[in-house]
Amino acid sequence: MGFWSRLKARLFGPSATDAAERRAVDAFLAGSAAAPPVAPPTDAAPVRETYGVSADDPILCDQLVGERLYIATLRCPHGHRLGDPRRGSMAGKCTDPRHHAALFPSADADPAEACIVDAYELTCEGGEFPCTLYFDMYHPNPPPQPAPRGLSRA
C-alpha cells in the first residue's frame, strides 16, 4: 500500500482500494455498469443560486471518485451528459465545516473561511450548455447533493 493510500485510510477509514474505485468509475463511464443510485435531497429547500457554480458554495463529495461519479449523473437542460476537463484546485469555502475532513488538519484552520476546491469546465454532449462547477472533495459520506440550477441528475 502506497503512502497516499495509507494516508487516505488513516484520514477516512478503510474503504475500497483506489484501483477498485477507478475500475468502478471507468465501468460506469464506459456504460457497462449501472448508474449509482442518486438519493433525492432530504430537504425541500430550493437549490441556492450559487450552489456548485461558486468556489464559495461548492458541491460536497468524497474524493476525486466522488467528483467523477457526481459529474457522470449530471444532465443539461436538453438531457445530454456533461463532459469535463478538470481545471485544477483553488481556494474556496466549505458549506459544511462540521463534516470537513482536511487532508492536513490544523487547529487554526477554519474550512468555512478557506478550503481547497476543484474546478471543472463542463460542456454537454450537444455542446450547447457550458458551465464551471466547483467541488469540495473532503467530505466522507456527504449528504445527498442536488443538481445545480439549470442541471438535473439522472
pLDDT tens for each residue of 14-28: 544 455 555 655 665
Is residue 76 within 8 A of residue 89, CB to CB? The reply is no
The dihedral of CA 7, 102, 142, 80: what is its sign? negative
For residue 133, the cross-strand partners are 120
The single-letter code of the amino acid at 145 is Q
Return the percentage of the chain with pLDDT > 70, whole number.
64
pLDDT attached to residue 117: 94
Neighbours of 56 (CB within 10 A): 12
Is the pLDDT reported for residue 112 higher than 80?
no
> What gap in Å lies between CA 71 and CA 63, rounded to an integer?
13
The better pLDDT of the pair 128, 43 is held by 128
* pLDDT band per the 50, 70, 90 thresholds, residue 121: very high
The domain limits of the chain are 50-153
Question: Is the separation of the CB atoms in 14 and 6 below 8 Å?
Answer: no
Query: Cα(152)–Cα(118) distance, rounded to whole angstroms?
Result: 20
Angle at 82 between CA 78 and CA 86, to 5 degrees: 155
The enclosing H or E element of 131 equals strand 130-136
More confident residue, 70 or 110: 70
